Amino acid sequence: MFNEQFSAVLKGALERQGQDALVDGAPKGYEEPKPSAAEEVLFAALQDSRRHLTQLDNIINAMAKHKEREQKQFERLHFAYKRAKGDAAYIRSCEKRLEMALQKSVQE
């Protein structure tokens, strides 16, 4: 699986760092360098900015869904309005014809 050169280097490293180095990943005595004050401030600002962007994306998605629902509602109301307007015109036309037929029958 490994070539001889890799095996030799791994064996030497394990002798220097101990068997736990395979699991721990970092040499013994290694400490993660502490971030500077500027790094901490900028990292916090970066996290806040990312959180704010996520919130804005959520708001945009919610607004898009709301707009879509409102558009459907508008279309339904517009259809109902046109239907009611047509029905009212039909009723007026029927009333007018009935009135004209009554007047004609009265005159006869």
What domain range includes position 52? 4-29+38-107
Q: 15: left (phi > 0), else alpha (psi -120 to 50), else beta?
A: alpha
The predicted pLDDT at position 34 comes to 86
The predicted pLDDT at position 80 comes to 98
pLDDT of residue 14 exceeding 70? no
Give how many domains the chain has, as a whole number. Answer: 1
What is the per-residue pLDDT across 45-77, written as a single tens digit (0 to 9) for each? 999 999 999 999 999 999 999 999 999 999 999
The percentage of residues in the chain with a pLDDT greater than 70, rounded to a whole number, is: 77
Q: Locate 11 and state its tokens.
A: 């064996």
Rounded Cα–Cα distance for residues 50 and 30 (Å): 31
The percentage of residues in the chain with a pLDDT greater than 90, rounded to a whole number, is: 56
Q: How many residues does the chain have?
A: 108
Is residue 27 a contact partner of residue 21, using CB atoms and an 8 Å limit? yes
The predicted pLDDT at position 42 comes to 92
Global confidence as pTM: 0.51
